[in-house]
Structure 1
Amino acid sequence: MSKMVHDFNDIIRKLRKDLFGKGPERIHTVFVENMAISTLYGNLTPTEKFIASRPDGTDMVHIARTKMIQQVYSTNVPKGIEEIVGAKLVHLFTDMKVEEDIAVSVFVFDKNIALERA
């Protein structure tokens, strides 16, 4: 894993740990053109797992997680993300499959960040 991917993943992990009390257990990130695509495994806290096991709980956890992440990134880009890739974050798309405890985030930047790796 390159230092850039490692540093990028560390920022994501720290932000989510600060927000939810637990960061992902594993993150896999790839840089493609102007995007960083991160798959996050093992995200849920014990409380979220309990809520998700109840009727309508999965929807509650899904909505809370995805809306909170989108709001945080739209109001305050995490420190260091833009510096690592050398581009400005313009969009974040994120979703989660609560039943499998897998999340995906697609970070869209204002220029090709994959070229920066060469």
Structure 2
Amino acid sequence: MSKVIHEFNDMIRKLRKELFGKGPERIHTVFVENMAVSTLYGNLTPTEMFISRSEEGRDMVHSARTKMVQDVYSESPPDGMEDLVGAKLLHLFSDIKIKENIAISVFVFDKNIADKLNGH
């Protein structure tokens, strides 16, 4: 794994840990054109897992997690993220599958980051 991907994943993990009290157990990120696509595994806290045993609880955890993540990134990206990739973060699209405990985040930047970061 490249140093940039490792640092990018660490930023995501740190922010999620601050927000929810637990960061993802594993993150896989790929850079494609002007996007970073991150798949996050093992996201839920024990409390969220307990709450999500019912359909109503799953909906509540899904809504809270998705909205919190999008709100935080819309206020400002994590410290150093834009410097790391050399581009300005424009949008974040994020979703989570509660039963599978897998989330995906698509970070959209203002210019192509893939060529530089993938070593081309």
Question: Is TM (by shorter chain) over 0.5?
Answer: yes
Percentage of matched positions with identical amino acids: 71
What is the CA distance between 1:55 and its match in structure 2?
4.0
Give the equivalent residue in structure 2 for 1:35. 35
CA RMSD between the two structures: 0.7
The alignment status of 1:45 with 2:35, answered yes or no, reads: no
| Segments of 4+ moved more than 6 angstroms | none
**What residue identity is the alignment partner of 1:92?**
L
User: Any residues of structure 2 matched to 1:1-118 within 5 Å, and which?
Assistant: 1-117=1-117, 118=120
Q: TM-score, normalised by structure 1?
A: 0.98
Q: Separation in 2 of the partners of 1:114 and 1:100?
A: 29
Distance across 2 between alignment mates of 1:27 and 1:50: 23
Unaligned runs of 5+ in 2: none
**Matched residue type, 1:5:** I
The amino acid across from 2:105 in the alignment is: S
What is the aligned length? 118
Deviations 1:53-101 (A, max 9, x none): 1340000000000000000000121101111100000000000000000
After TM superposition, the score normalised by the length of structure 2 is 0.96
C-alpha displacement at 1:113, in angstroms?
0.1
| Residue type of the alignment partner of 1:63 | S
Q: Tell me by how many angstroms 1:52 deviates.
A: 0.2
Query: Aligned partners of 2:6 and 2:65: how far apart in 1?
Result: 23
